[in-house]
Structure 1
Amino acid sequence: MKPVFYLAAAVMITVALALLLVPLIRQGRRQGRPRGIFVLALLVAFALPLGAVGLYLLIGTPVVLNGVEKQPEAISIEQAVAELQTHLQTEPKDAQGWLLLAQTYATMHKPAAARDAYDHVLSLQADNTTAMVGWAETDSIAREDHRIEGRSLELLQRAVQLEPDNQRGLWLLGISQFQHDRYAEAAATWRKLQPLLDPDSTVAKAVAEQIAAADARAGSTPATPQAPAADGPALQVQITLAPTLKDQVKAGETLFVYARAEQGPPMPLAVARLDAAALPATVTLTDAMGMTPQLKLSSAARVFVGARISRSGQAIAQSGDLEGDAGVVDVGSKAPIKIEIDKVH
């Protein structure tokens, strides 16, 4: 796109927001509401799309906003938030105020605080789909494992039931299904999202890639699940079990082989799940085994490669699990990576 296009778009958005919000601000001031609340509304109107990019990159949402520079803020956002908090102390039933506070905390990368504010919205408006999706999204960011389950999953299911064309809701619901190995359901959910997108957009392409990955995991395509892309990374991992621990492995336990970024979020960039009885085993980790389109093997230069036998079948490490690792390796490594599971968590 030409710079002139972005400038013209920015001018049109600014004029539209001014025509809409300035009269509301004047009316609100006449009613005695604090100035900071309305200034904060303006800040969020411009800053929320920018904050969404960072949030989506972290949990795996397609991104279409590129090259947008954050505009300088006329006043301190912390001051505006403080005024809004003061207002909500005197008007605790102001659902729109709580929603604005939640969205602001999200743009400030304070997911736990945003989740609490969304809770207030839901206590006042139980069917507010924006708050439902926002709660699930910020909860997943606040969690160390970034999984979407429990109340988050229930809220997303309710949100897309009430609003079938909720794009963020459909995307996050598909991520949850993918995280829980329900690959066919994830692909079906993302296919509902596809018609709502511009087919030539970056978002549509990212969704199509993730559908293909889910189909491959579900076994609904003839492709070999572990076949790497011609130009993508492929880490061959050879896993063995220390003789001293063989008696501790029980039938039905799960073997996870994973790679995560040397620096960054703990979410795996690639993960394979096998029956622990398959040991010794060889696994090839590729981009197709990532949990989200953005967080995949090729997004990092160096990765920590590990293996764990989970007694519970859950990906989160628990006391008593057996584990081992190969340390940090280059993501482009072609030599076999050897791991001996020789420790008890």
Structure 2
Amino acid sequence: MGWLILLALVALVLLALWKFGRVTGPALQFAAAGLLLAGAGYAWQGHPGAEGHYKPPPVRQKVPDTAFAETRGEMLGEFDNAATWLTLAESYQRSGDTKAGVDIIRSGLRKDDRDADLWVGLGNALVIHADGMMTPSAELAFQRAQAIAPDHPGPKFFYGLALAQGQKYDEAEAIWRNLLATAPPDASWREMVEERLAALAQARAMNLTVPQVR
């Protein structure tokens, strides 16, 4: 059947060239030679008798909300421009498409590269995409957020979370303790930082990995 279809196509092409394209003589012979060469390639490498096999698209494993998604509203806010981008990115992360999560936040940064919350979100998204490891690009994103908003607790807090997830406990603890030391006594987020320090101490005492804070 494959050969019959190929021959029919060759005939149709030559007929169209002769009738509608006014191709005649040597030009028509040259076109026929090209079509025959294509047929020779098909005969050499084609497998018309092989059975087709449907290959389903890879299934991404759905994951629950990360600690970043659960706590960023308290630390960063929920109703600003950054929250819109971060919420969209998190929907892709939950479906397992971590690269799309990174790309969406980068799209937000192309519109406003002075948004510290988006830089924090990018750092977190890059850590998620790297299966919980702090990569150089993620670290740069967190540092950029801190440079833009040096007095905001969010960049430092979430940088500490990412470090703890990568089992860099000493660095995470130092950041969180410094954050508490410079925080106002009535800061609404003090308890959140204290809880993380307590979880870190408990994990060390039990010789466990700190629960992932992706």
Report the TM-score, using the length of structure 1 for normalisation: 0.32
Higher helix share: 2
Report the TM-score, using the length of structure 2 for normalisation: 0.49
Q: Which has the larger radius of gyration?
A: 2
